[in-house]
Amino acid sequence: MRIHSDTLTYGDLSGAAGKAKVVFTTADQHGSRKRDHAWEVKLSGDSPYRQNGNPSEFAASWDQWGIFLAELFRRDPNMTCSGYPDRDTFELATGERFDTLQYGVSPYHRRHKWEPNGFYGANCECGAFQFWGWRYGMAA
């Protein structure tokens, strides 16, 4: 994921990774046309899915990515990333799940079972919510 920021440092990314209990498979700094600089980040975590075809490397779960990004948005509310254009959209698209969610504390999930809800989104039995309508200019 490409993260654009004026202020985020490698230390900020490491702090967010610590909260999400993930490790970097990539954390490279690049130039950015949107902000002062960008970070290309790939995370390994506790998802049951393998990453990059490597049998010993597991992808980060949706919740781990959410915890990671929420912490980065707290540190730099003006950052953007390839998944969400701004903090408000991130919160809208995730139902503000990551305002309080902590790694390993219920309702944290390693693997959500998403069911389409008919309203440009999906729900998991745990209460997690994804809203895709923001991409079409819709409100949740």
pLDDT in tens, 77-123: 999 998 899 999 999 999 999 999 999 899 998 999 999 988 789 99
State the sign of the Cα–Cα–Cα–Cα dihedral 9, 15, 19, 23. positive
Stated pTM of the model: 0.92
What are the Cα distances from residue 92, in Å, to 28, 32, 54, 121?
28, 25, 33, 11
Long-range Cβ contact pairs of 131-137 (< 8 A, separation 24 or more) = 131/92, 131/93, 131/94, 131/95, 132/93, 134/89, 134/92, 134/93
pLDDT band at 139 (very low <50, low <70, confident <90, very high): low
